[in-house]
Amino acid sequence: MPILPIDSGRYGSNEIRRIFEEENRLRYQLDFEAEVALFQGKLNLIPLNASKEISKIARSNKITLKKIKDLESISEHDTASIVQAISEYCSPSTKPWVHYGLTSNDVLDTSTSMQLKDSFEIIEPKISKLISLLINKVRKYNTLPAVGRTHGQHASIISFGLKFAIWANELSHHIERIEEGKKRFLLCKTLGVVGTGSLMGSKALDVQDNVANSLGLYSIEAATQVIPRERLAEVQFIISLIGCTLDKMAIEIRNLQRTEIGEVEEPFKKGQLGSSAVPIKRNPIKSERISSLARILRSFSNISQENISLWHERDLSNSANERFIIPMGVILLDEMLNSMIKVIEGLSVNRQRILDNINKTKGRIYAEFILEALVKKGISRMNAYDNIQRVAFETLANDKDFEQAIMQDPSIGANLNKKELRKIFDPNTHLAASTKIINNVIKKAEQMRKNYKMR
């Protein structure tokens, strides 16, 4: 019976969950045992006939999860149960060569790398798709002026498309991080009990290099009994960092969907309910889900860093929690990406509300540009600043129009003519370098796709 929401299929796609199912994890481990045996035979470390027999049995589907579970109930050791199961199908002359020169974590760590490799083949195209969707929004809204907010307050004018461009740019960097990091964390280890390759001697690294190449992994340069946990901590950090970017996007969408702002709205399908009690509600539940799951991912990153400091050549203090944080981290990130793709695909943007919000402060949002104009006229920056602030606070207190007050104020209006003021109070004149920035982001995203052959 399912216990966790992941078990019930609530979170994550079927394709990503399948990678971490027990049956498939066993297949990864058996594939690893098969590859090691094959190359040990080719390098004359074990008899060639034995290597072929071990490989054939490991990939024969004779070794079932039920068989492993039955054996583990007695031995209380999962990897030893795999070795025992393979051995039971081997001829007497082959049995001694099963799992030759390996230790449990050679199997566990390498199979984890195999799972991560397959996971990123699912995750990266989804990030790429999200970037593409964001670029579409960038192109559509690149010349739409909007309120730029700092500290939750109106600050200045921003291109609404620039919001999407910033998100797309950070996601491009995440793909770069994954691709650049693969050589550090998609690792193969066959170096045995304390990382010396003791039983395989001088050919230990040859076995490891060949197996790594065959599995599409990278050969670890040096290790103890386990691959150094800095490598898995980097994976968890990248996963949590991607989650943080998705959370950042989600929080902005949630804020912009607030009734008082109303600039965007998540897709809301027919028959969907926003509230069990309030019929009018259209809640940003997908974005809220993303923010909620991001908190879990950040906690996993902390746990993975705690796992780095193990006793001597290793202890088991990392083992139990990694069975949670590695599959759960990947599956939850997949869920977050799926949710954000749906949000951006169906995001409703209210152009008129965006333009109306610019005028909410009755012109005070243009204070930055008035200050600039006065400074260019030769007026002391602090004097100009003080006068603009004085007028701004007076109009705020009296609910007056800022533009009219500026024109009528002798210390300011006398220095700016109507044509200059008209330009200052036109939001379309304040997009500055937005178009250039946006074009650079689009070029970078397109180049990234070419570099990494992203769909």
Contacts of 247 (CB under 8 A, 6+ apart): 290, 291, 294
Q: Which residue has the tokens 């908190």?
A: 295
- Which among 8, 60, 198, 275 is annotated as catalytic? 275
Yes or no: say if 289 and 339 are a contact pair by the CB < 8 Å rule.
yes
Task: Output b/e per residue, 290-302; b: 16+ Cβ within 10 A.
Answer: bbebbeebbebbe
Q: Does the annotation mark 154 as catalytic? A: no
Residue 165 CB-density burial (10 A; 0-12 exposed, 13-18 middle, 19+ buried):
buried
Query: Could you tell me the end-to-end alpha-carbon distance of the chain, in angstroms, rounded to an integer?
Result: 38
Contacts of 369 (CB under 8 A, 6+ apart): 424, 430
- Which among 151, 202, 276, 312 is annotated as catalytic? 151
Question: Half-sphere exposure of 270 toward its Cβ, with a 13 Å CA cutoff?
Answer: 0
In order of 22, 253, 286, the CA distances from 249 in angstroms are 34, 6, 11
Q: Does the annotation mark 8 as catalytic? A: no
| For helices 22-42 and 65-75, angle between their N-to-C axes, nearest 10 degrees | 90
Number of Cβ atoms within 10 Å of the Cβ of 112: 25
Of the candidates 128, 134, 130, the one whose C-alpha atom is nearest the C-alpha of residue 454 is 128
Yes or no: say if 148 and 157 are a contact pair by the CB < 8 Å rule.
yes
Q: Give dist(CA 129, CA 125) in Å, integer.
A: 6
Yes or no: say if 412 and 375 are a contact pair by the CB < 8 Å rule.
no
In order of 317, 327, 342, 433, the CA distances from 116 in angstroms are 21, 9, 24, 40
Contacts of 284 (CB under 8 A, 6+ apart): 250, 253, 254, 257, 265, 266
Task: Output b/e per residue, 123-137; b: 16+ Cβ within 10 A.
Answer: bbebbbbbbbbbbeb
Q: Give dist(CA 42, CA 48) in Å, integer.
A: 7
Residues forming the active site: 151, 275
